[in-house]
């Protein structure tokens, strides 16, 4: 973990996380041995859940725990800062996006994406999916 300053810092690669707390940004990197290499275990959202949310905060299920909220990537890192600075949240984490290959690996293994990992942009317009041709 290293402090990177007061300006928003976006993760630049897999297994790199940005954390915002006390008006400062930090860069965190998952070390080898902190995750498995199966399709689910290698996801950044799984690494964060297992090594930080569960171990440090006792958050077992991010779907139901009221202390966890999700901010879509389109809203930007400034939204994370706003929520923490307002006191609504205590800390915010930004993750590198799930790659298409990771998505394919999970689908091919018969698994489903973990909670808080299925936000994709841009969204397809609904009419393209439900319009009868």
pLDDT in tens, 75-95: 889 999 999 999 999 999 999
- Rounded to whole angstroms, the Cα distance separating 122 from 72 reads 11
Q: Give the range among 28-32, 55-59, 113-117 with minimum mean pLDDT.
A: 113-117
Cα-based angle 4, 6, 9 (whole degrees, multiple of 5):
55
CB atoms within 10 A of CB 93: 19
- Rounded to whole angstroms, the Cα distance separating 8 from 20 reads 8
76, 130 Cβ separation under 8 angstroms? no
The predicted structure's pLDDT at residue 128: 55
- Rounded to whole angstroms, the Cα distance separating 120 from 26 reads 25
pLDDT 10s digits, 14-49:
999 999 999 999 999 999 888 888 899 999 999 999
The predicted structure's pLDDT at residue 76: 84
Average pLDDT, the chain: 87
47, 30 Cβ separation under 8 angstroms? yes
- Rounded to whole angstroms, the Cα distance separating 123 from 102 reads 19
């Amino acid at each position: 973990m290293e402090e990177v300053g007061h300006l928003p810092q976006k993760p630049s690669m897999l297994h790199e996380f940005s954390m915002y707390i006390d008006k400062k940004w930090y860069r965190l990197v998952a070390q080898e041995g902190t995750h498995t290499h199966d399709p689910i275990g290698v996801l950044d959202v799984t690494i964060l859940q297992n090594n930080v949310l569960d171990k440090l905060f006792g958050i077992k299920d991010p779907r139901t725990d009221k202390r966890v909220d999700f901010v879509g990537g389109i809203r930007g890192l400034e939204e994370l800062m706003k929520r923490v600075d307002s006191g609504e949240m205590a800390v915010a984490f930004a993750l590198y996006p799930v790659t298409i290959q990771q998505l394919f690996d999970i689908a091919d293994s018969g698994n489903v994406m973990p909670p808080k990992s299925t936000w994709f942009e841009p969204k397809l317009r609904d009419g393209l999916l439900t319009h009868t041709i």
